[in-house]
Structure 1
Amino acid sequence: MRRFAMPIVLLGLFSCEKEVHIHSTNTVSQLVIEGKIEQGAYPVVVLSHSLGYFSGLDSTQTKNNYVHGATITVTDNGYNYDLREYSRDTVGGSIYYYTADSSRQPNRGIPGHNYGLKIVAEGKTYISSTTIPSSHMTLDSIWYKRVLYDGDSNYAELRVRISDPPEKGNFVRYFTKRNREPFYPGLFSTENDDLVNGAPSNITLDRGINRNEKIDYQTYAYFRLKDTVTVKFCGIDRATYNFWRTLDFSFNNNGNPFSSPIVIVGNIPETQGYWGGYSVQYATIIMTD
């Protein structure tokens, strides 16, 4: 049984991709791009400015950190369409993002398609591309196993069986949703087929977590009996995998005085962030007694 977690190594990327070094000092602000297009959905892009390591953070600063008025164009196999800026109110304040104008009925994300991204913001142009994989690791089955921890037998591990295509170089990222919670990524949210290429494999999926909350490292990975759990299992390309792999590693080493500086690997030159395509598969289980 393998646990869904990444080995402690850093990966290189293609020469055209930017490596962003994170230092514990104040640096010149960069554009931060969080962009994705999922199978069956419109693209979503969030633009903001990076903050210095010692910068204070409050709701006003967060609101002012968004980048407005950008021109964003997505290219889908030669067909171009622009994104519009929208906002949504949340408990923590307004969120600003760019997505397609549904009234113009652009194509939603399609596996196998390549998606170009062009952003013109604050006098500069940024270009990237991604693919929604058409061939990727998939979920075959899902189950759970009761776990006894500190005398409590109501904990449960989530386990899945996955299949992998015969060709090497498949990557996934996963999320879990527990009851009415949102989907959260796992603490180590990515996996590749280096060790299981072309073969089925049984693995344990840790519970996805809200990284803004304090983490109990003894029990965070477990669910509870009677939980309804949905897994969101996403095929991604290598660049998207490398971004989240190194970001997960950075998050999990934050505050460790003995760790080396982490290189967050993005695929949009001269920025922090990424543009990624996701194929999507869902599976749900109720953890009965």
Structure 2
Amino acid sequence: MFLFYFIPLIFAPMRLILLGTLTVFLFSACEKDISVHVQTSVPQLVVEGIIENNNYPQVILTHSLNYFSSIDSLTLINMYVHDATVSVSTGVKTMELKEQKAFSPSGAEYYVYRPELGQPGDLFKGKSGETYTLQISTDNKTYKAVTSIPLTGMHLDSLWATKVLLDNDTTKVRLWARITDNPTSNNYVRYFTKVNRRPFLPSLNSVIDDHIVNGTTFEIPLDAGVDRNTKPDPVTYALFSRGDTITLKFCNIDNSTWDFWRTVDYAFNTNGNPFSSPTRIIGNVNGALGYWGGYEVSYKTIYIRK
């Protein structure tokens, strides 16, 4: 399941404290509480759509929730948008996507729009270098977004691990990658890691760009993927362990997909920080929240000896 979460800003009540000295031994303070009233927003369509090279597209449609909404299993099921008309087009061929019930690795139920493989029609998988238009019609509204699967970008050369000493724990390692960037500027990557038979997960900072390293071969540490529904250990969350088999899913993406995940990652990592700047999630679906993204995917696996 690849649902994402928009991270709202937290507005804490402000307090103004006026201190004045009356005598050397006596102080008084004056306080005034200011209440902040957060308005209820109208639910918006939330789109998460992906198309990978050599795979069929998948689109999840939900409605947004208010920040203070109570969350339970029924609320989550009712978020899904049903009976929408969804299509993907190359400009030459158009493929209809149909709503299907699916289950995550943990057994959670969700709904996804994808092609019906048993039905006749123009079925096609993602192809590097192609551009794809997503169109969604629901609730008497139509939404469009365009993405492409990059033909070239960054190339994953090799993976290795280095020891990390944490007090008396000698089992932890850090993953490193050597990457060669195509001389053409504006290349972007999003990556996921899989440990043994667990699912692929993105790291807390899951995107890379070539603004500084354009046209070079460079080495970079790669953090372990995390389940964003749980609180990671601030000391060990980015590390792997001896004995792990690590598979890296390395995805070249276009600028709009990078913009979306860059802003989502930043918002997630600064959630609750009163000194962080307000973050606007940059999507590419006109009139809706979310994104439609193309991924040029490659894989590399490494075993970390005990």
Q: What is the alpha-carbon distance in structure 2 between the residues aligned to residue 66 and residue 161 of structure 1? A: 40
Q: What is the alpha-carbon distance in structure 1 between the residues aligned to residue 126 and residue 116 of structure 2? A: 14
Q: TM-score normalized by structure 1?
A: 0.90
- Return the offset for 1:89: 3.3
- Structure 2 counterpart of 1:16: none
Matched, 1:94 2:109: yes
- Structure 2 counterpart of 1:236: 253
The structure that has the greater radius of gyration is 2
RMSD: 1.5
Matched, 1:109 2:126: yes
Give the AA of the match of 1:51: L
Matched, 1:278 2:295: yes
- Structure 2 counterpart of 1:60: 74
Given that 1:143 and 1:285 are in contact with CA atoms closer than 8 Å, whether structure 2 keeps it comes out as yes
- Return the offset for 1:178: 0.4
Match of 2:171, SS state, is strand
Number of aligned pairs? 270
Identity %: 46
- Structure 2 counterpart of 1:35: 49
Matched, 1:50 2:64: yes
Given that 1:22 and 1:261 are in contact with CA atoms closer than 8 Å, whether structure 2 keeps it comes out as no
Equivalent runs, 1:189-268 vs 2, <5 Å:
189-268=206-285
Name segments (4+ residues, structure 1) moved above 6 Å.
none
Q: What is the alpha-carbon distance in structure 1 between the residues aligned to residue 91 and residue 129 of structure 2? A: 10
Cα shift readout 1:203-257 (whole Å, capped 9, x = no counterpart): 0000010101111111100000000000000000000000000000000011112
Q: What is the alpha-carbon distance in structure 2 between the residues aligned to residue 193 and residue 89 of structure 1? A: 36
Given that 1:243 and 1:266 are in contact with CA atoms closer than 8 Å, whether structure 2 keeps it comes out as yes
- Structure 1 counterpart of 2:159: 142
- Structure 1 counterpart of 2:173: 156
* Mean Cα deviation higher: 65-74 or 77-86: 77-86
Q: TM-score normalized by structure 2?
A: 0.85
- Structure 2 counterpart of 1:165: 182
Q: What is the alpha-carbon distance in structure 2 between the residues aligned to residue 170 and residue 102 of structure 1? A: 33
Give the AA of the match of 1:99: R
Given that 1:34 and 1:275 are in contact with CA atoms closer than 8 Å, whether structure 2 keeps it comes out as yes
Unaligned runs of 5+ in 1: 1-19
Give the AA of the match of 1:277: G
Given that 1:63 and 1:93 are in contact with CA atoms closer than 8 Å, whether structure 2 keeps it comes out as no
Match of 1:62, SS state, is helix
- Structure 2 counterpart of 1:182: 199
Unaligned runs of 5+ in 2: 1-5, 11-37
Change (3 A) 1:222 1:21: closer
Given that 1:46 and 1:97 are in contact with CA atoms closer than 8 Å, whether structure 2 keeps it comes out as yes
Q: What is the alpha-carbon distance in structure 2 between the residues aligned to residue 22 and residue 145 of structure 1? A: 37
Given that 1:172 and 1:234 are in contact with CA atoms closer than 8 Å, whether structure 2 keeps it comes out as yes
Greater RCO (CA < 8 Å, at least 6 residues apart):
1
- Return the offset for 1:23: 5.2
Cα shift readout 1:85-105 (whole Å, capped 9, x = no counterpart): 101134463100100122346
- Return the offset for 1:270: 1.4
